[in-house]
Amino acid sequence: MKRFIKESKNRCLNYRKRILDISQKVRAIHAAGAFSVIELVDCIYYGLMRKKTKKHKYFRDTFLMSKGHGCMAQYVVLENLGIMAKKYLENYCTKNGKLGSHPDYGLPGIEASTGSLGHGMGLAVGMAHADKINKINRKLFLVISDGELQEGSTWENMMMAANLNLNNLICFVDHNGSQSFGITKKTHPKFYPMNKKILSFGWECVEIDGHNTKEILNSIKKRKTKKPLMIVANTIKGKGVSFMENKPIWHYRSPNSKEYDIAIKELKHI
C-alpha cells in the first residue's frame, strides 16, 4: 500500500503538469474539473480495476467518465498506461488530432461518448445489466460530477440501478461543490443533504476524501450490502493550484504563461 501511495502521488503530480503543459498550447481545457478527479481516476485504473486476461482488450473491468469535460484526467492516465499513444495528446484539439475536450467512443480506452452531462448513469446501468445477462464477471466504475446530480436523468437511472440490483456498479461522485456558475451550497442549498438522497434511492453510500489514495483504495473493500455503491468523494476543484481552487471562473479558463509558472511551482508542494 505504502509503495502504491507514493507511486500514485508521483503519477498525479506528472498528470497535473502534463495537463498544464497542454493548456499552454490549446486553451480549450477544463483543467480544474480534471484536477479534482486525478487521484480518483489514477486509483481506479491502477488500483481498483482488475487487470486483463487474454480475453480483454485493456482491463477486465470498465471505466466510464460521465463528467466528460473532466476527460483530461482520463486521457493522461490512459497515456501513462500506454493505452493511448502520445500522439493523441500531442494533437489534442487540433485539426490533425482525434482527441477533443470530451471523450469519444472508439478512441483507445474510451468506452462511451460523454460530454452532455447526465448520460453516464444510464449508459452504466445498461452496461452493468447487460454484463449480468451475459453472465460476465465485470465491474463498472463510473465517475460523475456533483453537477450531474442535478439532472433528473441521473436519479431516474439510479433508481433503476437499485431496482435491477446492480451490485456490479460502483459510482464515484466528484463532490467538489463547485459548478460552472457558482458554488453549489450557495446556488442550490437544497442540493444537500446529498448522501441521504442517494441512500433513499436504494444505493449503499460511503464518503471519502477524494484526494486520499488510501481512502479511495479502501472505499470498495468495506462494502456492506449487495446494492449499487456510491462513493461520495470530497474533492477540491482545481486541486493543487491555489488560485484555481474552488473558483468558478477556472471552470473553463486556461492559465496564461505567468499563471502557468506559478502553478507548476505550487504543484511540487502538494
Partner 1 sequence: MRNKLADVIYKLGLKNKKICVLVADISPAGSMEKFRKKFPNRFINTGVAEQSMVGIAAGMALRGLKPFCYTIATFALYRPFEMIRVDLCYQNLPVTIVGMGPGTTYSTLGGTHLAQEDISVARSVPNMDIIAPCDPDELSDVVEFCSKKRNRPTYLRIGKAGEETFINKQSEKWKFGKIRLIKPGKDVCILTFGPIIRKAFEISKKLEKKNLSIEINSCHTLKPFDLNGLKKKFKKFKSIILIEDHSEIGGLNEIVKSKAYEQSYLGKILNFSLKDKFIHCYGDQDDLLSKHGLTTDIIYKEILNLTK
Question: Site mask, ligand TPP, residues 190-229, x = CB under 6 A?
Answer: ----------------------------------------
170-203 in b/e burial notation, b at 16+ Cβ within 10 A?
bbbbbbbbbbeeeebeeeeeebeebbeebeebbb
CA torsion sign for 120, 81, 244, 197 is: positive
Residue 106 burial (C-beta neighbours within 10 Å; 0-12, 13-18, 19+): exposed
Applying CB under 6 A, which part among 67-75, 90-98, 202-210, 222-230 lies near ligand TPP?
Answer: 67-75
CB of 167 to ligand TPP, least distance (A): 26
Q: Considering only CA atoms, which of 157, 134, 199, 150 is closest in space to residue 64?
A: 157
Question: What one-letter code names the amino acid at 148?
Answer: E
Question: Site mask, partner 1, residues 129-148, x = CB under 8 A?
Answer: ------------------xx
133 vs 249, beta carbon nearer partner 1 = 249
Residue 67 lies near ligand TPP (rule: CB under 6 A): yes
Residue 163 burial (C-beta neighbours within 10 Å; 0-12, 13-18, 19+): exposed
147 vs 210, beta carbon nearer partner 1 = 147
Cα–Cα distance for residue pair 26/195, rounded to 1 Å: 37
In the range 41-100, which residues lie near partner 1 by CB under 8 A?
68, 92-95, 97-100
Applying CB under 6 A, which part among 49-57, 66-74, 160-168, 259-267 lies near ligand TPP?
Answer: 66-74
Residues touching partner 1, count (CB under 8 A): 37
Cα–Cα distance for residue pair 164/76, rounded to 1 Å: 34
Contact 248, 183 (CB under 8 A): yes
Contact 13, 51 (CB under 8 A): no
Question: Site mask, ligand TPP, residues 80-119, x = CB under 6 A?
Answer: -----------------------------------xxxx-
In the range 152-191, which residues lie near ligand TPP by CB under 6 A?
174, 176, 178-180
Q: Which residues bind partner 1 (CB under 8 A)?
A: 26, 28, 68, 92-95, 97-102, 104, 113-118, 147-148, 150-152, 179-182, 184, 187-188, 191, 248-249, 251-252
